[in-house]
Amino acid sequence: MSRSLKIIVGLAGALVVLIAGLAFAIPHLVNVDSYRGKIVERAEASLGRKVAIGQIRLSLLPPALKMEKVAVGEDPAFGSGDFARVDDVLVRVALLPLLGGSLDVSVVEAVHPYVALIKNAKGDWNIDSLAQRKASPGAAAGGAASGAPAIGIAKLRLTDGTITLDDRDKTKPSHQAFDKVNLTLENLAPDKAFDFLVSVKIGKGTLEGSGTGGPLKPSSSPGTPPSLPLQAHIKMADLDLATLAPPPATARGQLTGAVDIKSDGADATIDGTVKIEKLQASAKGRPAAVPVTADFKTAYTPATDVLTLKNVIVKVGSAQGQINGVVNRKNPAANHITMHADSAALVEIAKLLPAIGVALPNNSSFSSGVLTNSGDFRGSFEPLNGQSSINVQNAKLNGFSVTEKVSAVAKLAGLSIGRNTEIQKLKANATFVNGTATFTGIELIVPGLTVTGSGTMSPDGQLNLRMNAVLTGGGGAKVLSLLAGSKGVPFIIRGTAQN
């Protein structure tokens, strides 16, 4: 090795030793814990909440501040605990500005953070005040100084977090917890838009989202929350419906699909396509054997908690129906939903009936026929209130025979008695009042027999129908009709639809 090369190698080795020595020595020589007050001050100015930070240490590889026991205080209107907390936070900073007395944050990483979201009985959230400040000069909400500049963060990364959601509604309070929350925000700074990535593990399913949010707009008037413009694309895979809705949730099923959200901070459009497998929409029902898909265009106003169903197309196999209307969570009396299906295949529709708690008699099934249905429902959906009508044409019901139920008369009339029922027409109108259905205009036409009537069905499915049968065939049927008179034979149906 030449003398010059030895000198170069020696200088390089000395430089490495020097840098390594400084890397281990500077953290002990620089008291970064003295910056705690400045960091707390600037964080409080950005958040408008009390902020507490434990010990702060310096690491040079890479240059970062390690903070312990970080907590953000709750809005006093919601309690005195922590809104958010994390045991350890890594704040990557530029070294030279730090040594010069200034703070330049590039990345903030928090592992196992905890965030508590609360909505009170008025519909206000504990996050609404984050962008607001006290009216008094020189102070921010919660006591933070407003003169300190707010912190800009190039990247904020939260890993393996927990979010709790408490709804303090007076009639239906609920608590939900979501684990395995991962969130990345980029270009996070006041008065600027930011990019985000989020993923949540919910039961056996996942929810992933990406998009752009902000800038956060302060409240325009007292008593109203700040607004956050948002554009997001959300993907869902194998999510259990029961884990998404506040308990007690009656609907279950595996949800997969994609949703696009666009919001100006005040109003949002929510459009997408989803598929639900093993749907069970009623506590009395059982999982459907076929998937249900929905293409939807909706609008949502957070301030009023009103969801407008602009156009929702629900499909079961080749059958489909349309739903429109308004759902008002704050004022259920203002709910209004309309439904319509035109010539939908009964073979497909029948596969969904078990999911809504409807069982055909004797476990029978449709092998043909079409259904035209309309519904108009207002007010609370639990119990149901509104009107509905059905019209079934040219259907075959396998495993249940109407003539078998009146076999004695059918034999005398010469009607064929089998295990199935050929339905030429079935019509009925229903009015629902607090879950009780009143049926009018019932008309069932099968070969050789016409049945008409009216009656009621209780919320638990108990039937009380007054019916009338008229034989329409020739031969013995004509003789029996003459004996019974033109008014036919009256009879009563009691029990449940299953029997």
Task: Write out pLDDT tens, residues 14-44.
Answer: 333 333 333 333 344 445 667 778 878 877 8
Most confident listed range (238-247, 332-341, 416-425):
332-341
Q: Helix, strand, or coil here: 67?
A: strand
Residue 314 has what pLDDT?
A: 94
Q: CA 70 to CA 86: how far, in whole Å?
A: 5
Residue 140 has what pLDDT?
A: 39
Torsion angle defined by CA atoms of residues 354, 360, 365 and 368, in that order, rounded to the nearest 10 degrees: -100
pLDDT at 412 over 70: no
Mean pLDDT computed over 171-175: 80
Mean pLDDT computed over 348-360: 82
Most confident listed range (74-83, 113-122, 304-313):
304-313
Query: What percent of the chain is predicted at pLDDT more than 70?
Result: 77
Q: CA 153 to CA 155: how far, in whole Å?
A: 5
Residue 141 has what pLDDT?
A: 37
pLDDT tens figures, 359-376 = 777 778 889 999 999 999
Residue 22 has what pLDDT?
A: 35
Bigger pLDDT: 146 or 69? 69
Q: Helix, strand, or coil here: 96?
A: helix
Contact (CB, 8 A) for 488 and 472: no
Measured from the Cβ of residue 45, the count of other Cβ atoms closer than 10 Å reads 20
Residue 268 has what pLDDT?
A: 95
Q: Helix, strand, or coil here: 10?
A: helix
Torsion angle defined by CA atoms of residues 390, 395, 398 and 400, in that order, rounded to the nearest 10 degrees: 50
Strands 268-280 and 252-263 come out as antiparallel
pLDDT at 486 over 60: no
Q: Nearest CA to 74 among 86, 60, 88, 84?
A: 84
As separate numbers, helices (DSSP H) first and strands (DSSP E) second, the chain gives 8, 24
Scanning the structure block, which residue is given the tokens 């609907």?
Answer: 251
Bigger pLDDT: 147 or 445? 445
Q: CA 390 to CA 375: how far, in whole Å?
A: 9
Residue 433 has what pLDDT?
A: 93
Beta strands in 39-193 (DSSP E): 51-52, 56-60, 63-73, 82-93, 105-111, 114-119, 153-167, 174-188
Q: CA 27 to CA 244: how far, in whole Å?
A: 46
Mean pLDDT is lowest, of 99-103, 224-228, 250-254, for 99-103
pLDDT at 136 over 50: no
Report the run of H or E that residue 36 belongs to, with start and end. Answer: helix 36-47
Mean pLDDT computed over 39-50: 81
pLDDT band with cut points at 50, 70 and 90 for residue 439 = very high
pLDDT band with cut points at 50, 70 and 90 for residue 319 = very high
Mean pLDDT computed over 183-209: 88
Q: CA 70 to CA 87: how far, in whole Å?
A: 6
pLDDT at 264 over 60: yes
pLDDT at 343 over 90: yes
Q: Nearest CA to 137 among 148, 124, 149, 146?
A: 146
pLDDT at 11 over 50: no
Residue 391 has what pLDDT?
A: 96
397 Cα distance to chain centroid? 37
Bigger pLDDT: 303 or 389? 389
When the pLDDT of each residue in the chain is averaged and rounded to a whole number, the result is 80
Backbone angles phi, psi at 321, to 5 degrees: -140, 165
Scanning the structure block, which residue is given the tokens 């019509």?
Answer: 427
pLDDT at 383 over 80: yes
pLDDT at 262 over 90: yes
Measured from the Cβ of residue 10, the count of other Cβ atoms closer than 10 Å reads 10
Bigger pLDDT: 432 or 420? 432
Mean pLDDT is lowest, of 264-268, 388-392, 471-475, for 471-475
Mean pLDDT computed over 114-127: 85
Q: CA 153 to CA 20: how far, in whole Å?
A: 28
Mean pLDDT is lowest, of 7-21, 328-342, 423-437, 460-474, for 7-21
